Structure 1
Amino acid sequence: MATGRRRKQESEQIPKLVVIGGGTGLSVLLRGLKQEPVHITAIVTVADDGGSSGRLREEMDMLPPGDIRNVLTALADTEPLMEKIMQYRFTNGRGLAGHNLGNLLIAAMNDITGDFVTAVKQLSEVLAVRGDVLPAANESILLKAEMVDGSIVSGESQIPRAGKKIKRVFLEPADVVPLDEAVRAIREADAILIGPGSLYTSILPNLLVGGLFDEIKASSVPKIYICNVMTQPGETDSFTASDHVIAMYDHLGGPFLDTIIVNTAEIAPFVLEKYEEQGAAPVLCDMDNLERLNLEVVAEPLIMFNGGVLRHDAKAVSKKVISIIKQ
């Protein structure tokens, strides 16, 4: 009995961290955070409408599984082979080509359990996931963008392809209700971490879920934004670090962040050339503007070049997050 009480007390002392976002950037970060003594709740966007996720969303009338799959895989405590299985994408086969096996597993669990959230929880147990993975809402969301020229683009996958400057993004339905478990996780959090991830198509779709953001804004715990390393073509062309923050503030009615983590490492010329070919450039840490936004700025070299792509150094960023929480 004494041992059980001690374990319960130890678990209650572990900081509870809510991480909000989507896409590859979030998954990379979670691989570092899961090594730290924290309890992670990842709240993930359900606005994806492209590729395998989009097909399953339309054909099976379910939430898009792609971002959820990536986060589950990142937080899983499984053999490397299981990760390969979760991320395997079929390249041929009538009806199978383009589908991701992990997406199909989630779709199967959704069919078996009759509920997407339950499906994710049960698959989390199978994969020995370290933490909780929750969709921002339990209904599919259509992301739309109003461009500077007044045109409207529908669909998360279509917005970056429009080749126009984004004025704002918004959700349909506008009154989407957040998942109860996500609201509760934010209320109980010791810190809220936002990003990294696509500003307009991964981060804002979560924050625009009204009841979810209300809880974030009302929370008194540290709210930390991890800024992207590179700009994203069709979304944040020429954006500085402060431009990312201002875009969030403009969408959400004012300031709510306490700290921003920004990379300052120089990027090798051959890497820059590769990204320039894709229309991407480093996000400038414009310190003066960030400080005028009353943000605590953590500006350090926090990147690594691996497998031909730039990524946040998940271990270094995670250590930095933990040091902020312990202040």
Structure 2
Amino acid sequence: MRKPKITIIGGGTGIPVILNSLRHQNVDITAIVTVADDGGSSGELRTAMQMTPPGDLRNVLVAMSDMPKLYEQVFQYRFNENDGPLSGHPLGNLIIAGIAEMQGSTFNAIQLLRRFFHVTGKIYPASEEALTLHAVFKDGHEVVGESKIADYQGMIDHVFVTNSYNDQTPQASPKVVDAIMESEMIVLGPGSLFTSILPNLVIPEIRQALLETPAEVAYVCNIMTQYGETEHFSDADHVAVLNRHLGQDVIDTVLVNIDPVPQAYMNSNQFDEYLVQVEHDFEALSQQAKRVISANFLRLENGGAFHDGELVVEELMTLIRSRGL
């Protein structure tokens, strides 16, 4: 029997949690990964080599691979702060950069590394070109660059992307649109709303594909609000922003965590960008999406609140089965 096709769209540290659990299911997985990161090691490499940033792709590779733990530790090793030009660079980022130069593109590099690390599923950068994220705030001010958005005090009205190194309209990588159109389910997130999820969706070809796909479109809502992005947001506010950027109500299903994060649990030093737990507005959610799945998706670890990948995937698979797939 043909495996159901599920495509996950996002970036950051959110989607690897879901991908790592989903790869153990009998499904055909595709990950579409943001290429708008311009901070840290990824930012330095994209500037030096005019390449798509490798960091989010690196984390997705690890999440979808059955590589031994030692290989993962080597690939994820980060040079320490007194290592001169190598300071702060994960070894995996340098490997991706080197293979991208050798193979002619980051897209080709990821396809080679997929085979090298026995990755379950397909991984595509959202675009073959590095993208620059622009945030326009409610007061009309525009901030250019993903890493600078949280520094401006204000509410974001909308975001858009441009090619970083030419004036052409941003285009989706090969096979990205086909993956969206051929999927039974599209999963957005979890992850930073304006800087991990939306940079993919505002690429015109991806946006159009999401409007046309027959797939179930599910959104895994964030557990915590995020400094500089979603302060004071309810779960319904998150969905409203997604639908507004897409141009119509595209989200079919919203997965919402209802398990409370214990008061004073969050390590505010280590996770200083996360503020308070996202509030619920089920009435507004029901007006924007066909169904809301509210359950315990919470995993508390090392002073942080994360999604439990196994619990989220369990609900996604139930949803897939309910569609007769």
TM-score between both structures, scaled by the size of structure 1: 0.93
| One-letter identity of the residue aligned with 2:275 | A
Given that residues 110 and 116 in structure 1 are in contact (C-alpha distance below 8 angstroms), is that contact kept between their aligned partners in structure 2? yes
Given that residues 272 and 281 in structure 1 are in contact (C-alpha distance below 8 angstroms), is that contact kept between their aligned partners in structure 2? no
Match of 2:76?
87
Report the Cα distance in structure 2 between the residues aligned to 1:120 and 1:273, rounded to whole angstroms. 34
Report the Cα distance in structure 2 between the residues aligned to 1:76 and 1:273, rounded to whole angstroms. 30
Alignment match of 1:193 (pick from 187, 190, 196): 187
Query: Are residues 116 and 278 of structure 1, via their aligned partners in 2, closer, same or farther at CA, if it must alter by over 3 Å?
Result: closer
| One-letter identity of the residue aligned with 2:198 | L
| One-letter identity of the residue aligned with 2:34 | T
Matched, 1:18 2:7: yes
SS of match in other structure, 2:260: coil
Report the Cα distance in structure 2 between the residues aligned to 1:277 and 1:208, rounded to whole angstroms. 28
Q: Deviations over 1:170-194 (max 9, x none)?
A: 1114821111211111121111111
Match of 1:143?
133
Match of 1:182?
176
Match of 2:304?
309
Matched, 1:285 2:274: no
Given that residues 197 and 203 in structure 1 are in contact (C-alpha distance below 8 angstroms), is that contact kept between their aligned partners in structure 2? yes
Alignment match of 2:120 (pick from 115, 123, 130): 130
Query: Are residues 229 and 61 of structure 1, via their aligned partners in 2, closer, same or farther at CA, if it must alter by over 3 Å?
Result: same
Of stretches 170-179 and 139-148 in structure 1, the one that deviates more from structure 2 is 170-179
Given that residues 254 and 289 in structure 2 are in contact (C-alpha distance below 8 angstroms), is that contact kept between their aligned partners in structure 1? no
| Alpha-carbon shift at residue 270 of structure 1 (Å) | 2.8
| One-letter identity of the residue aligned with 1:157 | S
| Alpha-carbon shift at residue 116 of structure 1 (Å) | 1.4
- 1:9-88 equivalences in 2 (<5 Å): 10=1, 13-88=2-77
Query: Are residues 112 and 131 of structure 1, via their aligned partners in 2, closer, same or farther at CA, if it must alter by over 3 Å?
Result: same
Dislocated runs of 4+, deviation >2 Å: 272-279
Structure 1 gaps of 5+ residues are: 1-9
Structure 2 gaps of 5+ residues are: none
Q: Deviations over 1:226-267 (max 9, x none)?
A: 001101100000100000011112222111111000000022
**Alignment RMSD (CA, Å):** 1.5
Query: Are residues 278 and 134 of structure 1, via their aligned partners in 2, closer, same or farther at CA, if it must alter by over 3 Å?
Result: closer
| One-letter identity of the residue aligned with 1:248 | L
SS of match in other structure, 2:17: helix
| One-letter identity of the residue aligned with 2:16 | S
Matched, 1:152 2:142: yes
| One-letter identity of the residue aligned with 2:212 | A
Answer 1 or 2: which has greater helix percent.
Answer: 1
Alignment match of 1:165 (pick from 151, 155, 163): 155
| One-letter identity of the residue aligned with 1:319 | E
Alignment match of 1:207 (pick from 201, 212, 216): 201
Matched, 1:250 2:250: no
SS of match in other structure, 2:179: helix
| One-letter identity of the residue aligned with 1:102 | G
Given that residues 285 and 299 in structure 1 are in contact (C-alpha distance below 8 angstroms), is that contact kept between their aligned partners in structure 2? no
Report the Cα distance in structure 1 between the residues aligned to 2:287 and 2:5, rounded to whole angstroms. 30
